[in-house]
Structure 1
């Protein structure tokens, strides 16, 4: 009698699904201080669409006393950041390395804060030095906020040409998992000095509900920040910080306002 080997059913090991590829859809709005519109203000920012990166910088206004437009430094720092990002390996942008290269390459006189944010796979990678920064909004609430770096009240960490300043290595570094539907809002202190997180979040929620794109949302947030900056009777984050430091101050703080909004979306949906 012949014996036949019973065939075996081989089941390949189950593989976990590949993580969903994400993409940033970004827009920006810049409102210079009314007194600085002719010179373009002192903020700088960028959006790198292909490289999935954004950045903001705020030139320190005290340089004007020395006849220096710190806005030139902030704008060059952001331009050098864009160049450094394009030199990074594809899919492996290191914001800390980018900031170091940009700082080394910026030659204009002045000083500035800096915030650079990139998207790598499922993660937000960012560096922030000074009192610019960002928040992440998820399901109508703030789930991440970069702390403000200050040596003292209204004395921000800053990068300066020619040395004598803080160094890029002093920047806070962030790694945070994000998902489709998250919204990243980056801005200079003209935003965060005038709007509380819940006010920014409320604008984002309403914008999403009405189908507004990233550009429109940035414009809405910046407009509200300018409105609050001109209000002398409403408590603001800057006023609260001033009072805590022992100063008599009330109302908003008129300043350059830069807002960059990035919607985190599925790459396949874009």
Structure 2
């Protein structure tokens, strides 16, 4: 229970101070843990010269092939052959929680299976690290809802042993075969200073959003538009007894398989980008603008006990979410992510270049495997693998950018606009969903 003085001092203002003061410590922790390190490289990607002063970044050796399920999970929304829709959406998602201070890490028992470090994914162990046992951070435990709760079971099934930190996501089929709903939420980290786990709010929001989306078609005339899904989810969060307080940004998209319509509701600094071949210089068809009141002060949905509400608090409603829609075309690539991605990887330059690089490398790898006699199980196998590989490697690249002190990040440029010196990347959780539109 929070004290009256603590509650009275609570203001949902800029998250910059909390993140800025711990930034270098988080970088050191990331290097020491090894969970954010890339141990093997197959290539070096050099982004084209542009005003962003982008430098090189190494990709993990797993870039060319399928990624183990424990580092990502993917599914394909393929309707039955007897009732095929004009559009099919191939989806994959990836995530990584930022390093946490040892004193903030919950103790984990031997029987726990709800979290796994990236070292587990790489096949290495803490004992193989160059960091001494005394300096190495403890293994991160799962945060948020208890594993034996309904939301906890949903989260653990979704993450399959991974840990997304204060971020959460959803990727679910809707009631009409082929329709899909995807989304992300970013719990506001400043709540930790008041004894509140920010992941509770974001996990609950995505859980209830996925449940709402699963019972309706993507057509808003007979089903649910993204802003309605967000509103229903928020109402459920307000009634969640374990969510005492908290707030989060959110971005929800629905994909209509009958006509390829994408609809979105975005509140805060999470967002999405649509890549389309032949569109503009970089192939960016659309990039959602962030909704902010000021530097690093995004619009956010919040749950505040009545005694905490005060002048200056930031609290929005789902009606404040920006709505947007378009008709997707064959080959369109949609990427929705939290600010841990977009604060570190430029949506209009780096992401399209990175996606093109991964697609070319994966195509060469896939063709080589086919030449060795491994036949594709279906005509979309290459596309399915590509979406999976892109999602996982985009998270890896975001992590590399976060730890860079020389590459100018979008967050650094935004800080400079406000007269703030913030060199390099910004350490944060990352959660994203990739979707490739296939027109039959």
- Counterparts of 1:195 and 1:88 in 2: how far apart (Å)? 34
CA contact (8 A) 2:180 2:218 kept: no
Q: 1:86: Cα distance to partner?
A: 2.0
Match of 1:183 in 2: 333
Number of residue pairs matched?
Answer: 248
Aligned-residue Cα RMSD (Å) equals 1.6
Match of 1:58 in 2: 186
Instruction: Summarize the Cα distance change of 1:66–1:48 in structure 2 as closer, same or farther, 3 Å threshold.
Output: same
> 5 Å matches for 1:199-210?
199-209=350-360, 210=362
> 5 Å matches for 1:64-213?
64-89=192-217, 91=219, 92-106=223-237, 107=240, 108=243, 109-120=245-256, 121-139=259-277, 141-162=283-304, 165-197=315-347, 198-209=349-360, 210-211=362-363, 212-213=385-386
TM-score in terms of structure 2 length: 0.54
> 5 Å matches for 1:228-239?
228-239=401-412
- Counterparts of 2:413 and 2:253 in 1: how far apart (Å)? 28
- Counterparts of 1:122 and 1:83 in 2: how far apart (Å)? 22
Match of 1:15 in 2: none
Q: 1:205: Cα distance to partner?
A: 1.2
- Counterparts of 1:49 and 1:85 in 2: how far apart (Å)? 8
Structure 1 segments, 4+ long, off by >6 Å, are none
- Cα deviation code 1:181-215 (max 9, x no counterpart): 00000100000000012111112112333244212
Match of 1:5 in 2: none
CA contact (8 A) 2:167 2:184 kept: yes
- Counterparts of 2:294 and 2:218 in 1: how far apart (Å)? 39
CA contact (8 A) 1:44 1:58 kept: yes
Match of 2:137 in 1: none
Range 244-253 or range 204-213, more displaced:
204-213
Instruction: Summarize the Cα distance change of 1:89–1:135 in structure 2 as closer, same or farther, 3 Å threshold.
Output: closer
Unaligned residue ranges in structure 1 (runs of 5+)? 1-19
Q: 1:122: Cα distance to partner?
A: 2.2
Match of 1:7 in 2: none
Q: 1:162: Cα distance to partner?
A: 3.6
TM-score in terms of structure 1 length: 0.87
Greater Rg, structure 1 or structure 2? Answer: 1
Secondary structure at 1:34's aligned position in 2? coil
Q: 1:90: Cα distance to partner?
A: 6.2
Q: 1:99: Cα distance to partner?
A: 0.5
| Residue 44, structure 1, aligned to residue 168, structure 2 | yes
Q: 1:249: Cα distance to partner?
A: 1.2
